[in-house]
Structure 1
Amino acid sequence: MNREQLITLVTEKLKLIRTEKALTQDQMSDLLGLSKKTLVQIEKGRIETGWTTAVAVCALCRDSTVLQHELGGDPLEVVDLIANHGTLQPKEKTMGGYIWWKNLSERNGYRLQQNVISNHYRILDTNNYRLLSSFDEQIAMQVWEKL
């Protein structure tokens, strides 16, 4: 996934996300720092959100089941990956990847997984801490081989 794809996805799902959060157009436009007129134009498909608005939606609505389903998990992880050109190495606790992840390989308690929706890769340690996230398969495999 890249910036343009995320912007398109947020643009297409914004009204659904707003209704899921039980927000009026006035409330949502205020939350995002947009005019109501701009929000209406986005919801009608006349204009796209910008990168900043897409990021704001992902951050402020990160618990949205619509966003999580469309992105295969935490929206901010996808934003962070895109903003950092496809690779992260945070040590962050995960749920272990039982919903949106398929195990590609497992050894010594480590798991190499791929997200079934966004297709990015990650490596988890024995306690489900994320050692790496990347859209780049080569980078994921290089780190995997070093473990």
Structure 2
Amino acid sequence: MNKEAITAIVSSKLKLIRTERGYTQDKMADVIGLSKKTLVQIEKERSTAGWTTAAAVCALFRNSDILQSALGGDPVEIAELAAHKTISRPNGQEKTMGGRVWWRELDSQKGIRLQQNVISGHYRVLDAEDYRLFSTYDAAEAEEHFQNHVKRTGDE
């Protein structure tokens, strides 16, 4: 999933996200830093949000069920991956739910797991305690990181 796809999804779901939170158009526009007129145009599908607005919505409404369902998981992770192309956290600083929703397990060795998101298509490597070690859209790169983490786990 790239920036354009995320922007399109956020734009199409913006009104639902706003109503899910119980915000008026004035309040939502203020929270995400848009004019009310621009927000109305996006909600009526006359225009789309820009990348900055989409990223802000992902960050500010990361717990939105609507947004999580549309993107296939943590909106911040999806936006971060689209912006940076890969995310590497070798010390496992970010705890996940372990892939119970939106994830297909591709491989598992020595407690290290390689998963693919069924909606966005991106890959991630998790440790035995469900901490995210690496994310990317590149299958070969994901496999390489998976094997490196498995090897490191075996060396310890």
Report the TM range for the smaller structure's normalisation: over 0.9
1:120 aligned residue: 122
Q: How many residues align?
A: 146
Q: What CA deviation, in whole Å up to 9, does each residue of 1:20-53 have, x standing for no partner?
A: 1110000001111111111101101111100110
Please give the secondary structure, in 1, of the residue aligned with 2:144.
Answer: helix
Please give the secondary structure, in 2, of the residue aligned with 1:8.
Answer: helix
For residue 70 of structure 1, report the CA deviation from its aligned partner: 0.9
2:132 aligned residue: 130
2:154 aligned residue: none
Superposition RMSD in Å: 0.9
Query: What code does the residue aligned with 2:77 have?
Result: E
1:44 aligned residue: 44
CA distance, structure 2, for counterparts of residue 31 and residue 143 of structure 1: 38
2:144 aligned residue: 142
Gaps of 5+ in 2: 151-156
| Identity %, equivalent residues | 56
TM-score by length of 1: 0.96
For residue 102 of structure 1, report the CA deviation from its aligned partner: 1.0
For residue 94 of structure 1, report the CA deviation from its aligned partner: 1.1
5 Å matches for 1:56-71?
56-71=56-71
2:82 aligned residue: 82
Q: What CA deviation, in whole Å up to 9, does each residue of 1:81-138 have, x standing for no partner?
A: 0110x21012211111111111101111111111111111011111111111111111
For residue 18 of structure 1, report the CA deviation from its aligned partner: 0.5
1:35 aligned residue: 35
For residue 145 of structure 1, report the CA deviation from its aligned partner: 2.4
Gaps of 5+ in 1: none
After the TM superposition, which parts of structure 1 deviate over 3 Å for at least 4 consecutive aligned residues?
none
Query: What code does the residue aligned with 1:16 have?
Result: L
TM-score by length of 2: 0.91
Query: What code does the residue aligned with 1:63 have?
Result: N
